[in-house]
Amino acid sequence: MLEVETTVRGVLRDVLGLSDDRVAAFEENTPLFGALPELDSLAVAGVLTEIEDRLGILIEDDEVDGEMLESFGTLTRFAARKVLG
């Protein structure tokens, strides 16, 4: 889980162009979609693709909704569930 969290943090930093300090401060309840202006639809596509690449998982379109992208915690838990299969 910690490894997945580190990877998701790194993906958000790279795709959204955020500083190390900013992503280091992300917590379970830090809101993402709707709260980060950098996270537009194209950036969402980049985040999903990069998470897929780095964690070796596949994310289907119908799994992507507002809830999954709601907070750092929901996105990380979604990715961790995928990794565990």
Partner 1 sequence: MIEPYDWSGGREAMLRFGPGSGPVVIAALPLFDEANRMRAFAVTVLRTLAETHGIAGVLPELPGTGESLVPSERIAISDLRAGFAAAARTAGGRAYSMGMRSGALLDGSVVIRHRWHFAPQPGDALLRALRRIHRTGDAPGYGGHRLPDTFLDELADCHVEPARTLRLEGDTRPADRLVAGSALWREPAPANDLALAALLADDLAGWVRACEA
Q: Determine which residue in the list 1, 28, 34, 38 makes contact with partner 1, applying CB under 8 A.
A: 38
Q: What does the longest C-alpha to C-alpha distance in the chain come to?
A: 33
- Any residues with CB less than 8 A from the CB of 64 and at least 6 apart, and which? 44, 48
The answer to whether 47 touches 12, Cβ cutoff 8 Å, is yes
Q: Determine which residue in the list 48, 69, 75, 80 makes contact with partner 1, applying CB under 8 A.
A: 48
Phi-psi region of 39 (alpha: psi -120 to 50; beta: other; left: phi over 0): beta
What residues numbered 4-33 form the site for partner 1, per CB under 8 A?
6-7, 10-11, 13-17
The least CB distance from residue 68 to partner 1, in Å, is: 15
Which stretches of the chain bind partner 1, using CB under 8 A?
Answer: 3, 6-7, 10-11, 13-17, 38, 41-46, 48-50, 52-56, 58, 61
